[in-house]
């Protein structure tokens, strides 16, 4: 499993990436939506993208819209991971095509719960 | 400011005795922060005064509020997933086929904690049962009055709604209320709450079509488990469904049940 | 952003819009989830050292304001280390602390922004020795974390950020 972690905070990329690594994910990072989109356009298609909302250059909602506009990327599971927590913002993100929505702050368990809702917790290899 | 070491030791001993939960040294700040609201509610000037009062003249209510403040456990929505997906894909559809139109479907959440389980059942019902919010009635009980009050209030913190509640369900069934999220009036109207000690005699409830008795039998000895399972069966329809926790079973405890495989989980149905 | 004055926020002070108990509730959730399960902000006073660092975010909307997090430089470093859990490098450089401490202010600002009566947006976090001094009706919420004083200051800002 491969996850793309998109956040302008390096600390947040380390936190989200670290929890996912513990679950067996390979991690690629991007500091804003455009940098992430460049990676997709270069042919990198992750299983999961964890997306902050407020970022410089290109915000997370614009990134979700861009991914959903391209049928080649329809298998990428999109999860917002953001401090935006108004009811209306969550509705907007889901309407744009995000599959799940995790509000900051969150615990590692909360991130794991979301992945299991998405069927994205890798099965441990014995 | 920090808690005196003798006070910390007293609280840690009390909590270990009552709940088997260990507060290791270094958790002084946690004890201070969690007990400050308890102290203020009970009219003590501070945590030191609360501890002093409890030490001099221990009373059940103070002990219980100290233990509850220090042993909060987080509960997830759709906990363990499978029982709730089976409720939606197998149990409710079968009940709808067997019951006459408009007949109420009754579900009992027998250890409802802060309410995640009964409201999860309500959300599943509203997805798969036509007019589910009026057709399905959920009875939520718990030993703790505080948990029953929380369930009735139907308000959850940001951290609680982050735990396993699918985002589409959050926006459909909840609205923001200050720093918390509140269940919709329709969902709340499905749930009736009351305190109930599972080890004592039960009032007449039900009869229930479905019972969730999850992760609670593990706390009782075998004779009490047998007694609880017998009393639960008496509150159920003969073709009802019982869900236990993943680590629990009726096998070898009470012969009155048939185990039925449902996807990756199991349910139990009364025999005879 | 709309230039129309909102009846709900017009003339309201920072403390009226975001009262102390609200600020504490949001901060407690951040500490319990990001700093550690048993990490708490104790609502007590303490001494603020002479050498402090601040992280702040602006809120733009019908009400314009700022949320500032201030503590000693050593506490900011400890907070960053706790935030990164086992993933902190052995030696945190200034950029690590700036980023980690700034993200705490960002999450705090985001949590508070959601409680305002009308839709608003957040500016990207800034970190420095002293926050801008153009705030009015400052509202200070003081706590202790592991014995160190942590201040959260909310203020109105009359001009665009």
- Average pLDDT of C106-118? 93
Q: Averaged over A94-112, what is the pLDDT?
A: 95
What local confidence, expressed as pLDDT, does residue C50 receive? 83
- The count of domains in chain A is 1
* pLDDT at residue C155 is higher than 90: yes
**Shortest Cα distance, chain B CAs vs residue C145, angstroms:** 8
- Residue A58 falls inside a structural domain: yes
In chain B, where the domains are located = 5-70, 82-270
pLDDT greater than 70 at residue C113: yes
Class (C level, CATH) for C14-156: alpha beta
The CA–CA distances, whole Å, from B256 to A13, B83, B220, B227, C127 equal: 53, 21, 19, 12, 66
The 10 Å Cβ neighbour count of residue C99 is: 24
Mean pLDDT of chain C: 88
The CATH classification of domain B5-70, taken from the options 1.10.3720.10, 2.60.120.200, 3.40.50.300, 1.10.155.10: 1.10.155.10
Could you tell me if residue A95 is inside a domain? yes
Q: What is the CATH number of domain B82-270?
A: 3.40.50.150
**What share of chain B has pLDDT > 90, as a percent?**
61
pTM for this one? 0.85
Asked if B140 contacts B133 with a C-beta cutoff of 8 angstroms, the reply is no
Domain positions in chain C are 14-156
Please indicate if any CB of chain C lies within 8 Å of the CB of A126.
no
Please report the pLDDT score of residue C1 as a whole number.
42
pLDDT digits (tens, 9 = 90+) for B242-253: 999 888 899 999
A119 touches chain B (CB under 8 A): no
The rounded percent of chain B whose pLDDT value lies above 70 is 97
Average the pLDDT over C22-46 and give the result.
Answer: 90
Which residues of chain C lie closer than 8 angstroms to B1, CB-CB? 42, 44, 46, 144, 147
Residue A85 is part of a domain; what is its CATH number? 3.40.50.2300
Q: Is residue A123 part of a domain?
A: no
Cβ distance of A87 and B176 shorter than 8 Å: yes
Q: What is the ipTM of this complex?
A: 0.92
Interface contact A11-C100, CB threshold 8 A:
yes
Task: Compute the average pLDDT of residues C10-32.
Answer: 90
pLDDT beyond 70 at C2: no
A114 inside domain: no
Is pLDDT at C161 greater than 70 in this prediction?
no
The interface residues of chain A toward chain B in range 58-97, judged by CB-CB distance below 8 A, are: 85-87, 90-91, 93-94
- Report the residue from A90, A109, A116 with minimal CB separation from B170: A90
Query: Average pLDDT in the C60-70 region?
Result: 94
Answer whether B5-70 and B82-270 agree in fold: no
Q: Which residues 51-90 in chain C show a CB within 8 A of chain B?
A: none
Distance from CA of C114 to the nearest CA of A (A): 5
Mean pLDDT along residues B110-138: 94
Output the pLDDT for position B68.
Answer: 78
Does residue A97 lie within any of the structural domains? yes
Of B2, B27, B34, the CB nearest to C147: B2
> Does residue B75 carry a pLDDT above 60?
yes
Chain C residues touching residue B159 (CB < 8 angstroms): 29, 32-33
Give residues with Cβ within 8 angstroms of B21, minimum separation 6: B15, B70, B71
Given pLDDT bands bounded at 50, 70 and 90, which one contains residue B19? low
Provide DSSP, chain A.
-EEEEE-S-HHHHHHHHHHHHHTT-EEEEESSHHHHHHHHHTT---SEEEE-SS-SSS-HHHHHHHHHT-GGGTT-EEEEEES---HHHHHHHHHHT-SEEEESS--HHHHHHHHHHTT-SPPPP-
Range of the domain at A49: 2-107
Report chain B's mean pLDDT, rounded to a whole number.
Answer: 90
What single-letter DSSP state applies at residue C49?
A: P
pLDDT computed for residue B262 by the predictor? 94
Is there a domain that residue A116 lies in?
no
* pLDDT over 90 at B217, yes or no: no
- Contact (CB<8Å) B1/C144: yes
Q: Is the pLDDT of residue A123 over 80?
A: no
């Amino acid at each position: 499993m491969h996850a793309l972690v998109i956040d302008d905070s390096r600390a947040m990329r380390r936190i989200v990436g670290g929890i996912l690594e513990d679950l067996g994910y390979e991690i690629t990072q991007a500091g804003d939506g455009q940098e992430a989109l460049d990676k997709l356009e270069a042919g990198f298609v992750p299983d999961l993208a964890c997306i902050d909302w407020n970022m410089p250059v290109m915000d997370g909602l614009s990134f979700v819209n861009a991914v959903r506009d391209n049928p080649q990327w329809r298998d990428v599971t999109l999860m917002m991971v953001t401090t935006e927590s108004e009811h209306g913002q969550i509705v907007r993100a889901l309407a744009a095509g995000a599959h799940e929505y995790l509000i900051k702050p969150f615990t590692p368990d909360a991130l794991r719960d979301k992945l299991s809702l998405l069927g994205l917790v890798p099965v441990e290899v014995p | 400011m920090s808690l005196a070491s003798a006070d910390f030791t007293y609280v840690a001993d009390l909590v270990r005795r009552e709940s088997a939960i260990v507060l290791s040294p270094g958790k002084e700040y946690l004890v201070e922060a969690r007990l400050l609201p308890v102290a203020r509610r009970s009219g003590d000037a501070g945590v030191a005064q609360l501890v002093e009062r409890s030490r001099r003249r221990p009373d059940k209510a103070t002990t219980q509020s100290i233990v509850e403040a220090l042993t909060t456990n987080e509960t997830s929505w759709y906990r363990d997933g499978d029982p709730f997906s089976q409720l939606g894909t197998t149990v409710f559809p079968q009940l709808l086929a067997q019951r006459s139109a408009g007949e109420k479907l009754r579900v009992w959440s027998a250890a409802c904690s802060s309410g995640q389980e009964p409201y999860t059942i309500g959300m599943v019902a509203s997805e798969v049962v036509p007019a589910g919010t009026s057709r399905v009635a959920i009875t939520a009980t718990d030993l703790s009055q505080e948990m029953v009050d929380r369930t009735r209030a139907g308000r959850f913190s940001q951290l609680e709604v982050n735990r396993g509640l699918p985002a589409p369900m959050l926006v459909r069934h909840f609205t923001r209320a200050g720093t918390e999220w509140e269940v919709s009036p329709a969902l709340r109207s499905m749930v009736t709450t009351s305190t109930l000690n599972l080890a004592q005699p039960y009032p007449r409830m039900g009869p229930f079509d479905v019972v969730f008795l999850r992760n609670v039998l593990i706390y009782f000895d075998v004779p009490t488990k047998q007694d609880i399972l017998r009393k639960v069966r008496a509150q159920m329809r003969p073709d009802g469904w019982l869900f236990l926790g993943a680590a629990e079973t009726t096998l070898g405890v009470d012969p009155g049940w048939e185990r039925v495989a449902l996807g990756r989980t199991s349910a139990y149905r009364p025999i005879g | 952003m709309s230039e129309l004055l909102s009846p709900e926020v017009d003339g309201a002070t920072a403390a009226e819009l975001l009262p102390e108990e609200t600020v504490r509730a949001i901060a407690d959730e951040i500490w319990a989830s990001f700093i550690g399960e048993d990490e708490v902000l104790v609502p007590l006073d303490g001494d603020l050292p002479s050498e402090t660092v601040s992280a702040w975010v602006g809120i733009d909307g019908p009400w314009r304001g700022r949320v500032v997090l201030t503590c000693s430089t050593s506490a900011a470093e400890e907070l960053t280390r706790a935030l990164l859990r086992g993933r902190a490098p052995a030696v945190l450089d200034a950029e690590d602390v700036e980023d980690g401490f700034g993200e705490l202010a960002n999450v705090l600002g985001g949590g508070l922004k959601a409680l305002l009566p009308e839709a608003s947006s957040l500016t990207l976090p800034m970190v420095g020795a002293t926050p801008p001094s153009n705030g009015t009706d400052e509202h200070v919420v003081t706590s202790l974390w592991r014995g160190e004083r942590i201040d959260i200051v909310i203020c109105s800002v009359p001009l665009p950020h």
